[in-house]
Amino acid sequence: MTRILYLHGFASGPASNKARFFERRLEAAGAHVAALDLARGDFEHLTITGQLQAVEEAAAGEPVALMGSSLGGYLAALYAARHAEVTRLVLLAPAFGFVRRWPERLGAEAVENWRRTGWMEVFHYAEGRHRAISYALLEDGAQYEDYPDFTQPALIFHGIDDDVVPAELSRRFVAAHPNATLEIVDSGHEMLNVLDSIAPQVTGFLLS
């Protein structure tokens, strides 16, 4: 039976609409799907390293396929570049360059204030409220590459109107990685309006 780990996005969780949608679809097709809690109950001290450790624990050194959304897509790429037992990947609007794009979104002054105080408030979508998060997220994340150089087969979906993670980042990645195929879809960052249409491709790719 194909094992698939689903990696959620930033300030999201394993019970998100996308996670549940693909969990149902993929398990109906015969896969075993585990939607991970990447924060492991400690969102305030979230780091890239800690999230990769959560994936490593769940994978347990066995062959596994990865599916990731936004930050989860970037994490899946990072993990696959370091673990040959990953068989293939599906990435939804992967947040390549996650750490280095914060100044673009927040502005240099806000990032400096985050660094100086050590904390920043962000909206946690899964909890529906604002939560504090440590600057350690950026300090730790600075050691990781913007575009992980994994070689496993990958299928990437990105919304043409994504205003959170520009589709150009996925285009740039695919241009340098012939193992990856990119599908640009008529959607924004969440891609909730195209889940039904892309589900057959996702299922066929991950279970092939």
Write the pLDDT tens digit of every residue in 64-105.
Answer: 999 999 999 999 999 999 999 999 999 999 999 999 999 988
Average pLDDT (101-124) is 95
Could you report the per-residue pLDDT of 21-73, keeping only the tens digit for each? Answer: 999 999 999 999 999 999 999 999 999 999 999 999 999 999 999 999 999 99
Question: Looking at residue 46, which CATH number applies to its domain?
Answer: 3.40.50.1820
Angle subtended by helix axes 48-59 and 71-82, to nearest 10 = 60
Q: Structural domain of residue 134, as residue ranges?
A: 3-206
Say what the pTM is.
0.97
How many domains is the chain built from? 1
Structure tokens at 23: 């969990």
pLDDT of residue 1 exceeding 90, the answer is no
**Angle CA(120)–CA(125)–CA(146) in degrees, nearest 5?**
65
CA dist., res. 89 & res. 80, Å (int): 8
Sheet holding 180-185, edge to edge: 32-35, 3-7, 64-69, 86-92, 154-159, 180-185
Report the pLDDT value the prediction gives residue 208, as an integer from 0 to 100: 86
Average pLDDT (132-141) is 98
Average pLDDT (121-136) is 96
